[in-house]
């Protein structure tokens, strides 16, 4: 299932950092991404592969370079399916009740 791949990809702090780098400046090469991390080129490649399998990163060749781009659509789909529905009035009311009960004790 695609959600499983996205959750797996987002579970790792290094992969989240790579996504943050691409969010800050899209279209980076492997060398540019590798320079931001204290790990081997092969390690960065493995993380990028997981991100690509989750469709969070897409690549495009530009001459001899392979550029990496952030695809935020799967993250938005996760948000809409799993997070947005819990931020409604019911969740807010329960959270307010929890805070009120904690304050009384």
**Residue 94 token pair:** 């329960």
Global pTM reads: 0.81
Beta bridge partners of 60: 67
| pLDDT tens string 60-97 | 999 999 999 999 999 999 988 888 777 777 777 888 88
Alpha-carbon torsion, ordered 42, 26, 9, 52, to 10 deg? -70
Give the residue-averaged pLDDT of 35-60: 97
Please report, for residues 2, 8, 87, 91, 105, the alpha-carbon distance to residue 101 in angstroms, rounded to integers and kept in the order given.
39, 35, 20, 15, 7
Q: Looking up tokens 């990163």, which residue turns up?
A: 57
Residue 1 has pLDDT above 70, yes or no: no
Q: Which residue in 11, 54, 46 sits closest to 30, CA to CA?
A: 46
């Amino acid at each position: 299932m695609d959600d499983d791949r996205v959750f797996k990809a987002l579970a790792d702090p290094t992969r989240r950092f790579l996504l943050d780098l691409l969010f800050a400046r899209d279209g980076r090469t492997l060398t540019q991404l590798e320079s931001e991390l204290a790990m081997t080129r092969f390690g960065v490649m493995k993380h990028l592969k997981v991100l690509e399998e989750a469709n969070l990163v897409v690549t495009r060749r530009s001459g001899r370079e392979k550029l990496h781009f952030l695809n935020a659509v799967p993250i938005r789909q996760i948000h809409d399916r799993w997070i947005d529905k819990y931020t409604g009035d019911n969740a807010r009311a329960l959270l307010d009740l929890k805070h009120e009960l904690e304050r009384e004790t």
